[in-house]
């Protein structure tokens, strides 16, 4: 039986060469941050690819530049590119009221007489919440598939805006999904067809599609901790596809990245360049937003993505004409890797290396710990993994980093087990965001 023990390994910022980014990508897999990783980057006019690890742990299938990943919210940059293209074609205008392009059955909320515009949706300043309150999927592991126009209509017709449109930045899957819905309604075509005609076909991104649109043996298995999870799927009836529905790979995403850096005179390139322009702050002086894209320190244009079992990052420096894409099949983000490649002043996160711990020691931690009468934490051993499950929450893996000290990979959480004078475990303490929760062992 193999149990994980870990020691801290701090990664010092370095000026990354091609070998440097490859070494750091490989390290993410070796330290079990992700089963597999694919990286594509452009430097000095040259395209580079690196892949390492497994697309499926059971089958031992290796990750390559063709391995497909869910890119999650990077989809939002495609949606805003569609918007920008249609603006340049004079089919819509950024200042247009979103209501104007919706079916008559949908009545968008207003606040203080201010109406939501297409620009508000594209810059996450619509006043709409992050998610619709009536998102109740038949399958919680596939949350967007059955959220159709009917559910969207019911929510929007009864929604009250927290803030006036245009006033406050609030990241919103609902808002961007609504923007995609509007554009498809305007064009009378499904989202998958729109991106194919306007973006994918011109860029020869022939391996990119909407998750659920087709089945491919090249699609990696996503993992939460070490547990495989089902892919998210969407169809032509799904109303929020524009918020996160795209599947792609390193080869196609490099083409997308190159197009962001292009200076040719096509309408599509002009559309991309319009999306890069700063429109407003995005919650702080260090973060701005264009159309869909975020901008760090007024310099680096980027977006990330996360689904149930995947994390992704794309970022570029338009002045130096260099950029990077990072794709992983885990829930551990690689944003820091992408930012560090763009600018070594941005630090890499602390990684921790798993090592062995005697199985008989781990058995001591099993039990039920009561934090409150209605909130308990169960610690159990499943095969070679120690698991923690809080009331009404999924099981997550625990990794040891010292005597009686563990951490989670899915969140910045540490768990300490406390012993009594006789050396027996009597309670645990959960540390998260500066808050401690103590649970007494009751079983």
Q: Is 136 helix (H, G, I), strand (E, B) or coil?
A: coil
**Single pTM value for the model:** 0.87
CA distance linking residue 17 with residue 13, whole number of Å: 12
Mean pLDDT value across residues 151-172: 97
User: What pLDDT score does 355 carry?
Assistant: 66
How far does the chain reach from its first CA to its final CA, in angstroms? 24
Mean pLDDT of all residues in 276-296? 97
Domain ranges of the chain: 68-342, 358-441
Count other C-beta atoms under 10 Å from residue 52's C-beta. 19
Q: Over the stretch 222-276, which tens digit does the pLDDT of each residue have?
A: 998 788 999 999 999 999 999 999 999 999 999 999 999 999 999 999 999 999 9
Residue 16's pLDDT is what?
67
**What is the four-CA torsion angle of 296, 200, 183, 162, rounded to 10 degrees?**
-30
How deeply is 226 buried, as exposed, middle or buried, from its count of CB atoms within 10 A (0-12, 13-18, 19+)? middle
Percent share of the chain, pLDDT over 70: 96
Among the ranges given (2-16, 39-53, 95-109, 284-298), the one the predictor scored with the smallest mean pLDDT: 2-16
Report the topology of domain 68-342.
Answer: Beta-lactamase (3.40.710)
Overall CATH class of domain 358-441: mainly beta
- What whole-number distance in Å separates Cα of residue 293 and Cα of residue 371? 41
According to the model, what pLDDT value does residue 8 have? 36
| Residues 342, 409, 310: CA angle, nearest 5 degrees | 60
| CA torsion angle 271 272 273 276 (round to 10) | 120
Mean pLDDT (whole number) for 2-9 = 34
DSSP readout, 400-412? EEETTEEE-SSSS
Instruction: Indicate whether 309 pLDDT > 90.
Output: yes
Q: Distance between CA 56 and CA 65 in Å, rounded?
A: 15
| C-beta separation of 117 from 165 below 8 A | yes
Same CATH fold assignment for domains 68-342 and 358-441: no
């Amino acid at each position: 039986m193999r149990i994980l023990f870990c020691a801290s390994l701090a990664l010092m910022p370095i000026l990354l060469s091609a070998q440097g980014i490859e070494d750091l990508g490989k390290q993410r897999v070796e330290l079990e941050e992700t089963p597999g990783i694919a990286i594509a980057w452009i430097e000095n006019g040259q395209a580079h690819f690196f892949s390492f690890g497994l697309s499926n742990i059971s089958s031992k299938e290796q990750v390559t530049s063709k391995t497909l990943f869910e890119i999650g919210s990077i989809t939002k940059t495609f949606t805003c590119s569609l918007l920008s293209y249609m603006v340049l074609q004079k089919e819509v205008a950024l200042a247009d009221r979103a209501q104007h392009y919706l079916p008559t059955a949908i009545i968008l909320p207003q606040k203080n007489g201010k109406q939501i515009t297409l620009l508000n949706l594209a810059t996450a300043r619509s006043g709409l919440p992050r998610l619709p309150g009536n998102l109740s999927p038949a399958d919680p592991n596939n949350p967007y598939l059955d959220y159709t126009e009917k559910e969207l209509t019911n929510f929007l017709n009864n929604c009250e805006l927290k803030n006036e449109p245009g006033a406050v930045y609030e990241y919103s899957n609902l808002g961007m999904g609504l923007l995609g819905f509007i554009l498809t309604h305007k064009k009378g075509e499904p989202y998958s067809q729109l991106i194919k005609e306007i973006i994918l076909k011109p860029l020869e991104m022939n391996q990119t599609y909407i998750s659920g649109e087709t089945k491919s043996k090249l699609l990696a298995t996503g993992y939460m901790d070490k547990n495989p999870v089902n892919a998210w799927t969407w169809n032509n009836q799904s109303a929020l596809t524009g918020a996160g529905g795209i599947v792609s790979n390193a080869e196609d995403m490099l083409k997308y990245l190159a197009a962001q850096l292009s200076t040719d005179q096509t309408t599509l390139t002009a559309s991309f360049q319009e999306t890069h322009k700063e429109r407003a702050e995005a919650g702080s002086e260090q973060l701005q937003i264009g159309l869909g894209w975020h901008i760090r320190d007024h310099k680096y244009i980027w977006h990330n993505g996360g689904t149930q079992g995947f994390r992704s990052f794309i970022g570029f420096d338009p002045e130096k004409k260099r950029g990077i894409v990072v794709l992983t099949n885990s829930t551990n983000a690689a944003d820091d890797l992408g930012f560090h490649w763009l600018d070594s002043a941005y630090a890499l996160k602390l990684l921790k290396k798993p090592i062995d711990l005697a199985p008989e020691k781990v058995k001591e931690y099993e039990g039920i710990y009561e934090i409150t009468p209605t909130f308990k934490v169960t610690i159990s051993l499943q095969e070679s993994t120690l698991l923690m499950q809080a009331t009404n929450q999924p099981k997550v893996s625990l990794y040891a980093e010292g005597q009686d000290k563990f951490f989670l990979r899915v969140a910045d959480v540490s768990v300490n087990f406390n012993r009594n004078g006789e050396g027996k475990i009597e309670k645990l303490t959960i540390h998260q965001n500066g808050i401690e929760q103590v649970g007494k062992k009751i079983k």
